[in-house]
Amino acid sequence: MAFGSKTDQKTGRSSSTSFLGKGTYIDGVFNVEGNVRIDGRVKGEIKGDADVIIGEGSLIEANISVTNITIMGEVTGNVICSEKLEIHNTGKVIGEISADKLIIEENAFFEGKSMMHQKKEIPALPESSKKQSDNKAN
């Protein structure tokens, strides 16, 4: 575990924060955990159980698969979030996006397809069905 990091009791994820500053470039697979802010450039793939911020002025050419993502820079590639995806007014996304929750601010740029996951809830049985089921069990 990284210096100064903690584990979130609710999610089991590391709550450490990593930072990729301007002028930094990664080419390949970037495995992330916890909280990550990217202000540099990434080409390849970003994946992991993480909350990611793509800072204003950053350039990302990668497929991304994370828990939550906030995009204020430019992303070219497919983005999959298990929870929330936000594109801020300075953000630009070209590619397919998929998330449980999607927020696109006014003046943000998005070109591609979007898909939102549906919460799967088990419908409750009506009272009359419950009584019939209980009677069959006896």
Give me the chain's average pLDDT, please. Answer: 84
Q: What is the pTM of this model?
A: 0.75
Confidence at residue 126, expressed as pLDDT on a 0 to 100 scale? 62
Q: How many CB atoms lie within 10 A of CB 96?
A: 14
Confidence at residue 116, expressed as pLDDT on a 0 to 100 scale? 87
| Partners of 103 in beta bridges | 86
Report the distance separating Cα 120 and Cα 129, nearest Å: 21
Q: How do the domains of the chain map onto residue ranges?
A: 17-137
Percent of the chain with pLDDT over 70: 74
- Alpha carbon distance, N-terminus to C-terminus of the chain: 54
- List, for residues 54-109, the tens digit of each pLDDT value: 999 999 999 999 999 999 999 999 999 999 999 999 999 999 999 999 999 999 99
